[in-house]
Structure 1
Amino acid sequence: MTSNAAPSTPDAPLLAVRDLKIHFPVRRGLLQRQVGTVRAVDGVSFEVARGATLGLVGESGCGKSTTGRGILRLVPPTSGSVQIDGREILTLDARALRNARGEMQMIFQDPYASLNPRMTILDLIAEPLWTHERVSSRDEALREVAGLMEMVGLSPSYMRRYPHEFSGGQRQRIGIARAIALRPKLVIADEPVSALDVSIQAQIVNLLASLQRELSLTYVFVAHDLAVVRHLSSEIAVMYLGRIVERARPDVLFRSPQHPYTQALLSAIPIPDPDVERKRQRLPLVGEVPSPLNPPSGCHFHTRCPYAMERCSAEVPPLVQRSPGHWAACHLPELPTAPAPP
């Protein structure tokens, strides 16, 4: 077994990601020759403090979910470093990685697809407990599963039922119970509310916040909607085409976005007041996210940016600190006045 643990201190971040790259070869023809590379994640770096939440946001196809899966090695990273509680994850051998799974878990996007329809809720939630030898008898497993179901707001009397007997929100609660069964340190929540009705989304977000306080969980919360992660996140990282383009605390990001892409995402958030909604200035996004197989040169966003200059197509803007704790990757020293966020 490989041990990559490093001394950690209470002040050290629980999760430290450094220059993470995840590239997928594109092969064609009878000989399956490589004809290109999809740069799904292209040099992502961030840290998450213990008990904090990083909201990772952006449009579909920007590499958010791939980043989360790469951190847990559900997809193989090409290069970089991922340390959880001081231990390097990317170099663990198979046995050590299996043992480390207890410290890092994932809540999947689709509660309809992430649960085995042939297993009862008891077996679904108890499976990781048996796999990691956290229970030694059927009675102990029953007690653990009952406690977990109550923790996520489900009656233990439902544990003999099957996934198809539950609503979407209830299935997501089952997925959450399964994810926290081993009391992990880190949970990657991959768009856990995007497949749910709006009325249920707030309930699940509130449940995640409650569990975080109760179990001292650290989250990476992946979403495409800034409004969803605003109240749960300690920090928000905005991702575009495999790169982080802005990172800041939610209040700072909403008040003073420093990247045109963030401005555009904020301007797309609806405001309940119709009078304010009619008067607000918008920064609409033009076109689709370019293909990561053939991304634009320089700043990936320049093909859709209303402020693009000649320099933007030639030079990659570094992610630099604009103010304490506020990082942005844009050649403009200051953006024009942003549309007022809700």
Structure 2
Amino acid sequence: MQPDAELKRLANNGVNTIFVITKESDGRVFYDSDVAPNQAHGRDLLGELADAAAVHDINIVPTIFVLCDKYLLEQYPETVQVAREGTEIRYPNVSAEHMHWACPSHDIVSEHLQAVTKEIADYDVDGIQFTHFEFQPIGNDESNYLSCYCEKCREQYELQSVSERSSAWIDRRCMQIDSLLRKLSEPFRDRSDFLVNIELEAFSNLETAIDDSRKMLGVDQCDVAEYADILTPGRHTSTSTCIRCGSVKLSAHFANRQIRRLHHRFVLDGASGLSIGWRMTNWLVRFNSRCTAVHTEFHSFPMVRTSVG
């Protein structure tokens, strides 16, 4: 891949922002890192893209798969999320190959992820997107198993006298995810004109969506909305059943309306007809080990920095 040629082509076609998957679900990164393996094999691809983006007046937003991290689990296997009945939430125990979920209860998980985001903060980028940061449930036709029940979590439940699925149990999980995302966004918080984008799961029942997210995923959407500039529904939103959540996911347009109504936040939504702020036309870019783009998604979104409604 030649970043300058690629970004010149995109700029000539009216693209002004690209979301670049910078930390993959396997834990590898696309820059010269001291804490994670570089998938670009000797290249600082993020640096090359940032330099080319500055030349062609394109915004660059790294995307981070937060708790999906095969590399981290290989180094610290005890940090894997564990479902109630004892299943480790990682491939091949779950169906998708990219599913290797680390538990935020372990200090090493938070420390590793903070080290990654601090490295990214040294680059001339215009935003950051956090995705895949939840406690993952396992859903099947017979029963749903929530997480996490790793040894560390069980010790904390016992120490704090927290009973399973009680309000205190739900609160504890939500506080852990909220604390992690706050720490990861900290290096970027004082930057002006910087986009912190957080991707949320959408649920079929609008009235219970916040409670469903808290109970099933350990994500309090209201807390997250306090420090996110823009919220988005999951990229793979469709009308099909969501295997990981056991819920029916929504059409992209309806999910965006749902998030706006619940949290008074603008979202990335090409169908809403909003004319406020500046319009972002972007590409989501995924690279393979040869540093060539193997997957792209094209979007055109109205964008604004959010304020509490």
Higher relative contact order (CA 8 A, sep 6+): 1
The TM-score normalised by the length of structure 1 is 0.31
The TM-score normalised by the length of structure 2 is 0.33
